[in-house]
Structure formats: C-alpha cells, structure tokens
Amino acid sequence: MTAGEPRAHEFEFTVNGERKTIRAFPMERLLDVLRETLGLTGTKEGCGEGECGACAVLMNGALVNSCLIPACEASGSEIVTIEGLEADPRVRALQESFIERGGAQCGICTPGMIIASVYLLNKIRQPSLDQIREALSGNFCRCTGYMQIFEAVAEAARRMERS
C-alpha cells in the first residue's frame, strides 16, 4: 500500500439498538456500511448526492441522508433504519396507512419516506398538510404525485392520537 492511501479503521456505533463494531474506511458512506457491511438493505440509494432521501435514516434522532454521512462521522452515534422501526406500534400504524391509502407504489422511496414521516410525527403529533408537505420535501417520489402519501401520514397521525 502506498503512503497516503486510506486505511480501514474500526468504528463503533449503535444500529437499531445494537452495538456494532465494524471496519470501514473513514470516508466510506454510512449508506454502504449499512447495506453492505451490515446487510440492512431496507435503506436505498436513489441519487448518491443527498437530493432524493431514499437513503434517509435517523442519526441521534435527526433525519439524515446516509449517502452524505461518512463512517467516521457516524462513529459513536445511534442509528435507526427502517428495519429498526418494526417493533414500534406507532410505526406499524403508519405503515398500515401507507398500504391502505396508496402511499407506496414502486416502493423504492418508501423506507426513506416512512423514516421522514416518523421524524415528523415524533416532532409534531398532529401536523397540518403544509407541515407534512414541508417535512417530506426532501424525499422524492416519482410514482404517487404525493397526494396519497400526505393522506397516509395524516391518517396515521389521527390513528396514533386515538390509540
């Protein structure tokens, strides 16, 4: 190996509640660490430049595009991916309303869309339509025209309120 070439390091972080130690290059994308090293393929790559939101995950509770986060920055953090949300009954309610209302078509944006919706609903329990629009504007969907996604999120918020 020539001098100056990047070397893999050990990184520790929590993914979906489990402590993980992995080897990665410091600038390796969190997206690749999740998908390739940890096999968590629910997080998708749509553009690789932080525009489309298909790779969205929660990092220390914040909504981030994992294609823009280098492994070294994720070190020590708590990451939640779509796979880590299934146990949460509120998230299941959201997923059900996505199915019922037509919020998922081809499905490639859906995990990111669910993550962004969870992030919104954690902050604002009963978001207005404008708040939903704004909160999802970093997540591209080419199939639905968004109307049914808005409905799904609003419906989920109502259900969560009732339960």
Partner 1 sequence: MRANIVGASAPRKEGRDKVTGRARYVDDISMPGMWYGATVRSTIPRGQIRKINFGSEIPWDEFVIVTATDVPGENHISLIGNDQPCLAREMVNHPEEPILLLAHPDRHALPRAIHAISIEYERLPAVFTIEDSEKRSEIIWGADNLFKEYWIRKGELDGIWERAAYIVEGEYFTGAQEQLYIEPNGMIASFDSVDGVTVWGSLQCPYYVHKALMALCNLPEDKVRVVQTETGGAFGGKEEYPSMLAAHATLLAIKSGRPVKMIYDRAEDMAATTKRHPSRTRHRTAIAADGKILGGEIDFTIDGGAYLTLSPVVLSRGTIHAGGPYYWPCVRVHGKAIATNTPPHGAFRGFGAPQSLFAIERHMDRIAEAVGLAPDEIRRRNFLRPGQTTITEQVIREEINLDALLGRALDLSHYHEKRKCFAADNAHAQKKKGMGVASFFHGAGFTGSGEHYLASVVALEGCADGRVRVLVSSTEFGQGTNTVLCQVAAEALRIPYDDVEIAQPDTHNVPNSGPTVASRTAMVVGNLIASAARGLIQTLKAARALGEDYTPEEFRAACRAYVGEHGELRSVSQYQQPNDIFWDDRAFRGEAYATYSWAVYVAEVEVDMRTYSASIQDFVALQEVGKVLNPVLAQGQIAGGVAQGIGFALYEKVEWREGRMQNSQMTNYIIPTSADLPPIRVFFEEQGTVHGAFGAKGIGELPMDGPAPAVVNAIADALKFPFNHVPLMPEDIFEAIAGTPANAACAPEPVTSR
Instruction: With CA atoms as reference, report the closest residue to 153 among 108, 84, 104.
Output: 104
The residue ranges of DSSP E strands in 16-144, in sequence order, are 18-24, 56-59, 62-65, 78-80
Using the rule CB under 8 A, is 81 a contact of partner 1? yes
Cβ proximity to partner 1: between 66 and 148 the closer is 148
Using the rule CB under 8 A, is 66 a contact of partner 1? no
d(CA 59, CA 15): 9
SS3 64: strand
User: Which residues within the stretch 82-121 sit at the binding site for partner 1 (CB under 8 A)?
Assistant: 82-83, 86, 95, 98-111, 114
- Binding segment for partner 1 (CB under 8 A), chosen from 13-21, 69-77, 146-154, 155-163, is 146-154
| Smallest gap from residue 89 Cβ to partner 1 (A) | 14
> In Å, how far from its chain's centre is CA 128?
22
The footprint of partner 1 (CB under 8 A) covers 35, 41-49, 51-52, 54, 81-83, 86, 95, 98-111, 114, 132-134, 136-150
